[in-house]
Structure 1
Amino acid sequence: MSDRLIVVSSDCHAGLHISDYKPYVESKYHDIMDMAVPVQIEMTEKAEQSFLIKEINDAWRAPIKQQLTGAWDYRERLKMLTDDGIAAEVIFPDGITEMNTPPFGAGLGLSPRDQVPELQWAGAMAHNRWLAEFCGNNPDRHIGVASIPLLWDVQQAVEAVRWCVDNGLRAVMIPTLWGEHAPYHDTRYDPFWAVCEDLGVIVHFHSGPAPHPEYFGKTWPAEDRSDELPGAMGIYVSEVMWWLYRPLTFMLWGGVFERYPRLKVVMTEGGTVFMLPPWLRLLDHNYTDVQFSAKLGDFRSHLSMSPSEYFQRNIAVGASCVPRKDIDLRNVIGVDKLMWGSDYPHPEGTWPNTRDYFRDTFAGVPEADGRKILGENAIAWYGLDRARLQAVADKIGPATSIFDNAGAAA
C-alpha cells in the first residue's frame, strides 16, 4: 500500500460570477437576466453589509484573490488541489458564496420562495451545463453536483437527471426547504427517486438554507432590521443544521429507502457527530419504544428496518472541515460514514491551510480509520476509480506520517 494518501474532498464549491452564466442560459431568457442580475447583486451587497461581514470578507480575500479564481478557472483549480493534496473533489454550486452563484435562485439555497419556476430551472440548467463542461476536464477527479429544482415539476426533474447522466454528472442537489410544496414523504416524488436509483445518481442535501425571513425580517436584505431583531444570526446558525436533517426525517419515515433500497443520499456540512447521534436516537426511540407511542396508531409497519439501519445503508455524511473532536467520536455513527471535505473556497473551510489541518487534526488517528475518512469512504460511495486516484495521490497526496503522534510533516 502506498504511503501517499488518496484524499477526496466531499465538499468543494465552484461557479461563475452570476453575470458570466449568460452564455449558458437559453437565449430567450437573456433579456430578463440582464434585468434580474443587477438586482440580485445589489441585494447580495446589502446582505453583506447587514451581516457586518463585508470588511471581514474583503480582508480575507485581499491576499488570495488569484487563488480564489479557482472557483471557475480550471488551471487555478488544479493548483489548489495540488497544494491541498486533494486527488478528487465533489463540487457543489456557489463558488465564493456571495457573487459566484447561478442566476434566478438556482444556487446552493435552491429555495422556491419568491422564485419563478421557469426561471429557476433556466438558472439551474445553465449551471449544470457549465459544471458538466468544467468537470469534463477530468471526470475521474471532479464529481459535479447538479442543481435540480425538484419541487416545481417532478417529470422535468426526471428528464434533467437523465440529461445530467448523459453529460457526465451523476450527483444532484435538491431543495432542503420545500415551503408550500409537497414534502419528501409524498409519493409524487417516487419517479425522481426511481430514476436516481436506476441510474446510480446520488442525491445531496447541503447545509445553508433556512427560513431567513423568520430571522432577519420579511423585507431583508432590502431593509436592515437588525436593531429590531437582535440575535438573528445566532438563531440562524443554531437552527440551520436542523433544516438539513428535516428532509431526511421525512424520507426515512416516508419509506423512501424501503421502496428504493439502492438510493444513495449524502448530507453535507451538517454537524456530523455532535448532532447526528441524538437525531438518530430520537428516530429509533420512536420506532422501537412503541409503548410510548401506541396511542398514536401504527406508523411503522411500512418499514422493515429502523431509521438508523436505513441511515447506515443509504446515507453518507459529507463531514466538511470535520474537527478532531468529531473524529474522536467516529465510531458513534460508524467510521465508514464520514467523508472529509475542505469546503474550498469558502472562508470557513480548511483551505488554504489544508496540509497543516491534516497534521494537526489526524495526528494519532489509526491509519486505517484516517484513510477511510480522508478518501476511501468517498471512493466506495461514489464508485471512483481508485487506481487512477492513487496515481494522482502518489504525486500530490499527504504522507501517512500525518497519523504519527508527533504529527510529522507530510
Structure 2
Amino acid sequence: MDVLLWITAVSGLGWLYLTLCHGWFWRTDVRLADPAPPPPGGVSVAVIVPARDEAEVLGDSLPTLLAQDFPGRAEVFLVDDGSTDGTGELAARLDTGQGAAGRVPLTVTTPGEPPAGWTGKVWALRHGVEAVGEVDWILFTDADIAHAPDSLARLVGEAERDRLDLLSVMARLRTHTRWEKLIVPAFVYFFGKLFPFRRVNRPTSRVAAAAGGCVLVRRTALERAGGVAVIRDAVIDDVSLGTAIKRAGGRIRLVLADGPERHVDSVRPYPALADLWNMVARSAFAQLRHSWLLLAGTVLGLALVYLAAPVALVVGIVGADPALALLGLAVWALMSATYVPMVRYYARPAVEAVLLPLAATLYLGMTVHSAVRHARGRGAAWKGRTYPAPAD
C-alpha cells in the first residue's frame, strides 16, 4: 500500500506539471484567425494530394478542393501513387465539367514506384512539387480531407498576414463509431502532449510539428529547407516536415480545425478497433526512433501517468485505505479535467473524460505491437508497402 501511495503521489506531481507547465497542451483554443484575413491579390497556390487506393473517400474530399473560393491562382494536383482501385480514374470523372463551371483546375499524375530510401507518400509529394512549377504556396493535403469552401483563402490569408512559412491544421477526425469516439479524441490529445501547439508556434522553441492532413508551406521556405528530399525516408512525414522548415529558420504554426461550418475534416472511416489500431501501430515505434530503450521508458511512463491513479482508487477502496483511495481519485480527477476540453471539442459528453486511462491502455498496446511488428520485419506497413527503420 505504501509503495502504491508513493507511486500515485509521483503521478499526481506529474499531472500538476503537465497541467500547469507543459505548454497548456490540453487547451483546444489554438485555431485559425476569426475573422479570417483576406489573401493578397495575385498569390498562387498549388494543392498536392498524394493518393494511394483512396477511391473509397475521394468522392467526399476532392470535390471540396475543386470548389475552393480562392481569389488568386490555384490548381489541384492529385498524385495517383500506384493505386489499384481506380483512384486516378475516379478523380478524372469527378473533375468532368468542373473547369467549365469556373472551379479549380485538376491535374492527375503518377510518380511511379518510389526508389530505395524513399517512403511512398514522400515520393508522391516530391513528384507533385516538381509538377507544379513556380507558385507562391503549396498545400499538402491528404486524400481523405474535406475542406470548407474558404479553407484555402483562410490558410493563405493568415500565413501571408503573419509572415509564416508553414501553417498546418490538425483536421477533425471522424467520431461516428464506438471505437472512434473512444480513441480519436485521445489520439489528438496525446499528439498535443507530445507537441504542445503553443510551443510549436513559438519561434524560440525547439518543438516543431505539423499535421499531415493539411500543411500549407511557402515554396521558397521548402526549397531553403532542402525540399521534400530532406524527409525522404520519413514515416511520420508531417512532423519531419515541420521540423525541417523550423530548423531552416522558418516560422511555423499548428492549429486545430474549426467547427463543422468551417471545416477541415477527415472523411476516412475507422469502423473497427483493428482499423484504429493499425493506424497508430504503423508509426508508433517510428515516433520512438525505433529505440527499444525509449519503448521501455514509454511503457513505464504511460503506466505511471495514466494507470497509477485508477489502480490506487480501486486498491484503496478494496483494501479500506481511504488515503490511497482519495489520492487516486484526486489524481484521476485532475487527469480527466485536462481531457475534458478535447472530449468537448469532439462534441462528446464531458463525463467520457474519465475513460482516458482506458484509451491510454489501448495506446500502450498499440505502441508495443508497433515494436513487435518491426521486430518481425513488418516495419511500418501501409497499403502494401513496408518500411524498415532508416539506416543510421
> Normalised by the size of structure 1, how large is the TM-score?
0.25
> Normalised by the size of structure 2, how large is the TM-score?
0.26
